[in-house]
Amino acid sequence: MSKTPTPNVRDNIRATAPKLIELTEEVIYGDMWEREELSKRDRSLITLAALIAMGRERQLIGHLNRAVDNGLTHDEIIETITHLAFYSGFPTAITAATIAKEVFADRSDPI
């Protein structure tokens, strides 16, 4: 059974903040994510670490999906979260693990 796709976060605010979305799509995803110096997998790992450490829960959902799409395994993501517990704190790690569990379940590949 397929789930209805979640609306893209960018599409939800495009009319409200069009320049922000333009910069996001052109600079972040159109340039930074396409640079060859780091793989998309590595960029996903770095982005997850930053979002977890900063407690950016809403953005974490989309980037967890992107990370799996970019080749990170569930085990690697959970290990990243566990590792970060000692650097960003247990509350950020517990929150990230809870979100990861939900994202993996929504993808029909639970941990």
- The tally of domains found in the chain comes to 2
Confidence of residue 5 (pLDDT cuts 50, 70, 90): very low
The answer as to whether 81 is a domain residue is yes
Residues 51 and 88 in one domain: yes
pLDDT of residue 7: 54
User: Do 27 and 73 lie in a common domain?
Assistant: no
In this structure, the answer to whether residues 50 and 85 fall within a common structural domain is yes
Instruction: Note the pLDDT of residue 108.
Output: 80
Evaluate whether residue 86 is within a structural domain.
yes
Residues 57, 101, single domain; the answer is yes
Over residues 37-94, the pLDDT tens digits come to 999 999 999 999 999 999 999 999 999 999 999 999 999 999 999 999 999 999 999 9
Residue pair 77/52 in contact by the 8 Å Cβ criterion: no
Question: Which residues form the domain of 26?
Answer: 9-37
Same-domain status, 80 and 55: yes
In a domain, 4, yes or no: no
User: 69 and 27 in one domain?
Assistant: no
Return the CATH number at 62.
Answer: 1.20.1290.10
- Residue 3, in any domain of the structure: no
| pTM for the whole structure | 0.85
**90 and 78 fall within a common domain:** yes
